[in-house]
Amino acid sequence: MTEDASNGGADRGLFGLLGRIEFRLAQACIALMTVLVLASAVARTVGRPASWTVDLATFTFAWAVFLGADVAWRRSSMVSITLLVDRVPERLRAWVGLLNLALIAGFLAAMVWTGAMLVRTAQDRGLSGLPGFSYAWVTAAVPVGCLLMLLTTVVKIRGTFAEARGATTS
Amino acid sequence: MITVFIVFLVLVALGMPLAFAIGISGFVFVLNEPSLSLTIPAQVGLTQTQKFAILAIPLFIFAGNCLNETGITRRLLDFAGALTGHLRAGLAHVGIVSGFMMGGVTSSAIGDATMFGRILGPEMTARRYAPGFAAGTIGSAALITTMVPPGTGLILYGTLGEVSIGRLFVAGVVPGALMTILLMAAVAFSARKGDYPRERPERAPLTEMLRTGLGSIWALLFPVILIAGLRFGYFTPSEAGAFAVAYAVLVGVLAYRELTWERLGRALGDTVVDVGMIMLLIVFSGSWGHGLTWDRIPQRLMGTLLEITENPAAIMLILVVALLIAGMFMDSTVLILLLTTMLVPVAVAAGIDPIHFGIVMVLTLTMGLITPPIGLVMLIVCSIFDTSVARYMRESWILLLSLVGLIVLLVVFPEITLWLPNIVYSDG
């Protein structure tokens, strides 16, 4: 549960608050999803299948995934293979890390942009089980989640710079 | 797809998190095909989360995290201790037997390795187990989890390859049990050489075995209920996952009375991170799947393979060797994600049963978790026991060898994997 110490105290302030909110929301999504799937199983067993439970469950899941992805990204708990990078001299390693983060930021920006385009086209698409509920609400998980991760990436980039400056002054 | 693949490898080598390396290289594919819309990565990525079957993954992860908070692990360890503590190198046997039993509760080898290492590690060190051997035991014990239902690897394979998850679960039971026996044999062999102590002078009395067995009955019953429920169609795999969570909460509150709101919240929090991590991989791999189909990679691969040989066993052997090598350098989840849709059609066309292939493929790929250079589980256990990879290899090679032996057995004799599902599903 510890925040990455290298983020320059970014767990305080607005960014930290955002992190706590997204964490709670993701927890709520997982809990709700579990209840909904359970409800759909019960409904089916008693002979009254309720397709809205399934639609709503996948909706909460999409949000759990994209919010949870940022939680994992903030905590730096994503799997990466550092076998080669570990052999690179320390000065160069910081630059490689920076290059990675810059590429990730570019990719996430593209995902926010294309995700937003997707939301626009999904507006008139409904969900069979949930009349009046636009598919755009499901789609929105992509740009919102990617925007949150983009923010985290930017904070990580800033943290790297702060660290480099700290290393040269001390 | 070649460009995509090279971009992917370069990014991985740069140490970029795998999820983003997959995402960026997949995006490159869409950029390279002017006829494709740029929204495809976002679209196929989202589609991955909208399949009802994939919900089984977060739900089983949640169920496992809940059960961990109920104190079931300790009870299983007590039971395993009563069963095997009198053997030479008792603690190592306890680790392996509980790996098998925990497999019916948890779905991820990495989680189990961390947990067993934390619980058994200090005792093993105190009993002067060679650190490389202790690390190897815990690591390979955690690997059993992938075979005993429910396992994330098998769920992923079943969802992506459109193979019955129920049958895959049943098919994993015998290989999981064989794995346990083979690993225990390997431990017994090493124990004689290393002269490791027994945990108790003689076999535990029957009453103690019964008492501890009853104490962990809720964990032991779970996979049985799961398989029965899936077999008789009471629930789909995803519903089974939700049921598993309810089961875990009920057991924790009513039977063991150890599950509190605080612990449930912690399980939920751990689940958020686990799900975010694994699902982001799945989401971003969507464009890869799209690209592989677009470029007709499975068909081309099949053509190449058929030029070499037409014997199903030989084709499987070629694939297994390739998977074993790939698994050594890449995360097993990523490989299952990228390769299942590609290889299942190849296997079926070559006359290999997709259930049989799934078990062998998942086992082979997860082998990579405990082999150098980058086995994730290996790195975890080596850091727990504060030992080097070289020492780990020197003291645990026999454990690894027994697992390779198991894979060969499974390839050569498909019946080992298939007889149980054939019995359970005989009239289906």
CA atoms lying within 13 Å on the CB side of residue B428? 12
**Using the beta-carbon criterion (under 8 Å), do B273 and A54 form an inter-chain contact?**
no
Mean pLDDT by 10 residues, chain B (428 residues): 89 92 93 89 91 90 87 87 91 92 80 85 90 94 91 90 92 95 94 85 89 89 87 87 91 88 93 92 87 83 84 88 88 87 88 94 93 85 90 93 95 92 82
For B255-279, what is each residue's pLDDT tens digit?
Answer: 888 889 999 999 999 999 999 988 9
Number of residues in chain B: 428
**pLDDT grade, residue A7 (50/70/90)?**
very low
Instruction: Give one DSSP letter per residue of B127-172, joined into a string.
Output: TT--HHHHHHHHHHHHHGGGTSSS-HHHHHHHHHHT--HHHHHHHH
Going by their DSSP bridges, the two strands A126-127 and A130-134 should be labelled as: antiparallel
- Selecting from B15, B241, B276 the residue whose C-beta is nearest the C-beta of A69 gives B276
Backbone angles phi, psi at B375, to 5 degrees: -60, 120
**Using the beta-carbon criterion (under 8 Å), do A79 and B376 form an inter-chain contact?**
yes
Which of B308, B288, B269, B413 shows the shortest CA–CA distance to B353? B413
Rounded Cα distance between B408 and B405, Å, is 5
**Using the beta-carbon criterion (under 8 Å), do B15 and A85 form an inter-chain contact?**
yes
**Using the beta-carbon criterion (under 8 Å), do A81 and B272 form an inter-chain contact?**
no
Helix/strand/coil for A5: helix
User: What is the DSSP code (8-state) at residue B17?
Assistant: B
For A15-74, what is each residue's pLDDT tens digit?
Answer: 999 999 999 999 999 999 999 999 999 898 888 888 889 999 999 999 999 999 999 999
What tokens does B152 get?
């994330």
Residues on chain B touching A121 (C-beta within 8 angstroms): 39
**Chain B neighbours among A 3-32 (CB < 8 Å)?**
23, 26-27, 30-31
Helix/strand/coil for A130: strand
Q: Please say if the pLDDT value at position A3 is more than 70.
A: no
Residue A10: the pLDDT is 54
Say what the pTM is.
0.89
**Using the beta-carbon criterion (under 8 Å), do B245 and A34 form an inter-chain contact?**
yes
The Cα of B93 is separated from the nearest Cα of chain A by a number of Å equal to 30
Residue B203: the pLDDT is 87
What number of C-beta contacts closer than 8 Å exist between A and B?
Answer: 181
Residue A107: the pLDDT is 97
Q: Please say if the pLDDT value at position A170 is more than 70.
A: no
Hunting for tokens 């089984």 — which residue is that? B56
Average pLDDT of chain B is 89
**Using the beta-carbon criterion (under 8 Å), do A37 and B55 form an inter-chain contact?**
yes
Q: Looking only at Cα atoms, what is the longest distance across chain B?
A: 73
- Selecting from A44, A64, A72 the residue whose C-beta is nearest the C-beta of B277 gives A72
- Selecting from A37, A96, A97 the residue whose C-beta is nearest the C-beta of B242 gives A37
Beta strands of B266-340 (E only): which ranges? Answer: none
C-alpha B361 chain-centroid distance: 11
Q: What is the mean pLDDT of residues A1-9?
A: 42
Rounded Cα distance between B120 and B94, Å, is 9
> What ipTM did this prediction achieve?
0.90
Hunting for tokens 């990719």 — which residue is that? A107
Hunting for tokens 């058929």 — which residue is that? B306
For residue B37, how many other CB atoms are within 10 A of its CB? 14
Rounded Cα distance between B162 and B237, Å, is 13
What radius of gyration do chain A's Cα atoms show?
Answer: 20
- Selecting from B15, B58, B241 the residue whose C-beta is nearest the C-beta of A81 gives B15
Residue B103: the pLDDT is 83
Contact B391, B377 (CB under 8 A): no
Q: Angle, nearest 10°, between helix axes B56-68 and B261-284?
A: 150
Rounded Cα distance between A142 and A113, Å, is 10
For A77-114, what is each residue's pLDDT tens digit?
Answer: 888 877 788 888 888 888 999 999 999 999 999 999 99
Contact B45, A112 (CB under 8 A): no
Residues on chain A touching B39 (C-beta within 8 angstroms): 114-115, 117-118, 121
Which of B67, B68, B136, B146 shows the shortest CA–CA distance to B100? B146
**pLDDT grade, residue A2 (50/70/90)?**
very low
Residue A4: the pLDDT is 42
Instruction: Give one DSSP letter per residue of B162-194, joined into a string.
Output: T--HHHHHHHHHHHHHHHHHHHHHHHHHHHHHH
What radius of gyration do chain B's Cα atoms show?
Answer: 21
Residues on chain A touching B59 (C-beta within 8 angstroms): 33-34, 37
Backbone angles phi, psi at B361, to 5 degrees: -65, -45
What tokens does B235 get?
């629930």
Contact status of B241 with chain A (Cβ, < 8 Å)? yes
